[in-house]
Amino acid sequence: MQFRPATPADVAEITAIYGHHVRHGTASYEIDPPDKADMAARLARIQGPGWPWLVAASSDGELLGYAYASQFRDRAAYRFVCENSIYVRHNRRGQGVGKALLSALIEAATACRFRQMIAVIGGAEPASIALHAALGFSPAGRLEAIGRKHSRWLDTVYMQLPLGPGSSVPPEQEPA
């Protein structure tokens, strides 16, 4: 398995991977999958400020999954907090791809000077909770019945991981 930054050439596969999870799962609260143009715009919006968007590829070039990190909320004081997003091709789940990909993303987000990473786990998905717990994320709250999809009320679970020095020292530069 190899990890590398996503490029516009990956957009079709990323759109297909995410589309499956939008249609069949509850990790995303989108109901209608985005098309390739939407996804290309999302990729540009993440990579524009220098945030990481990684893909995992098999040795024969198949895209196995992707993960990105973006500022948790837009307002300036959130400058050092990112939210992650990770999707593994549906028929490649449970084979270690998610764990390796999220580990690589944590490293890349730390290099971007983020100090905290938040996982916003739609549908309180057990696989996602297990993945984040396995990488050291701590439970940080649960909002009950805030989503509605596939005729079910959905809880959202928050988990949090300090990155690098976390909150033990101030940032090199205060947010403008």
Ligand X SMILES: CC(C)(COP(=O)(O)OP(=O)(O)OC[C@H]1O[C@@H](n2cnc3c(N)ncnc32)[C@H](O)[C@@H]1OP(=O)(O)O)[C@@H](O)C(=O)NCCC(=O)NCCS
| Residue ranges that bind ligand X, judged by CB under 6 A | 21, 25, 27, 86-88, 93-99, 119, 121, 125-128, 130-131, 134
The Cβ-side half-sphere exposure at 81, using a 13 Å CA radius, reads 13
Q: Say if residues 102 and 30 touch (Cβ distance below 8 Å).
A: no
d(CA 17, CA 5): 16
| Shorter beta-carbon distance to ligand X: residue 148 or 170 | 148
Query: Rounded to the nearest whole angstrom, what is the least distance from the CB of residue 130 to ligand X in the complex?
Result: 3
Query: Rounded to the nearest whole angstrom, what is the least distance from the CB of residue 54 to ligand X in the complex?
Result: 13
| Shorter beta-carbon distance to ligand X: residue 27 or 55 | 27
How many H-runs (helices) and E-runs (strands) does the chain carry? 4, 7
| Shorter beta-carbon distance to ligand X: residue 138 or 169 | 138
Shortest CA distance to 115 belongs to which of 40, 73, 168?
168
Query: Rounded to the nearest whole angstrom, what is the least distance from the CB of residue 47 to ligand X in the complex?
Result: 20
